[in-house]
């Protein structure tokens, strides 16, 4: 089970890059805390009656998990950056298509006016 600080509950899903940055900062902080804990293992665990080797193994496993998590977040950040670029490209395409549709609508209206004028001329010749 992962325990995260309260500010992690308030990540903004609309600001993915900012949220990922918050997560990265928290992971970095946890890495620093883990390094500190590993450096001070022998002093603190003897009084608790737990073997230093046991705690060291657990801390090492936690450090490995943290490194994997850091890698995963980095991968997600890269994916989000790539997707943001694709969204920008799609927005540009949609803008271009909207302009084309508007221009076609104007051309259709002009053709309809010409058809109406021709119809009036044909009716006048009858």
Is residue 20 within 8 A of residue 73, CB to CB? The reply is: yes
User: Any idea what DSSP says for residue 106?
Assistant: H
How far is residue 71's CA from residue 76's CA, in Å, rounded to a whole number?
9
Structural domain containing residue 23:
6-125
How far is residue 17's CA from residue 15's CA, in Å, rounded to a whole number?
6
Residue 56: inside a domain, yes or no?
A: yes
Least confident residue range of 7-16, 19-28, 72-81, 82-91: 7-16
pLDDT in tens, 13-43: 788 888 888 888 888 888 888 777 777 665 6
* Confidence (pTM): 0.50
Into how many domains does the chain fold? 1
Nearest to 5 by CA among 22, 37, 87, 115: 22
Residue 1: inside a domain, yes or no?
A: no
Residue 75: inside a domain, yes or no?
A: yes
Phi, psi values for residue 46, rounded to 5°: -60, -40
């Amino acid at each position: 089970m992962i325990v995260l600080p309260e500010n992690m509950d308030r990540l903004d899903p609309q600001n993915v890059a900012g949220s990922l940055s918050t997560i990265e900062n928290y992971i970095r902080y946890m890495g620093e805390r883990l390094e500190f804990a590993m450096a001070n293992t022998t002093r603190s665990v003897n009084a608790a009656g737990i073997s230093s080797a046991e705690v060291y193994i657990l801390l090492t496993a936690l450090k490995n998990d943290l490194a994997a998590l850091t890698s995963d977040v980095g991968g997600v950040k890269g994916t989000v950056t790539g997707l943001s670029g694709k969204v920008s490209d799609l927005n540009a395409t949609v803008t271009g298509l909207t302009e084309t549709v508007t221009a076609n609508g104007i051309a259709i209206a002009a053709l309809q006016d010409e058809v109406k004028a021709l119809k009036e001329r044909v009716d006048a010749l009858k």
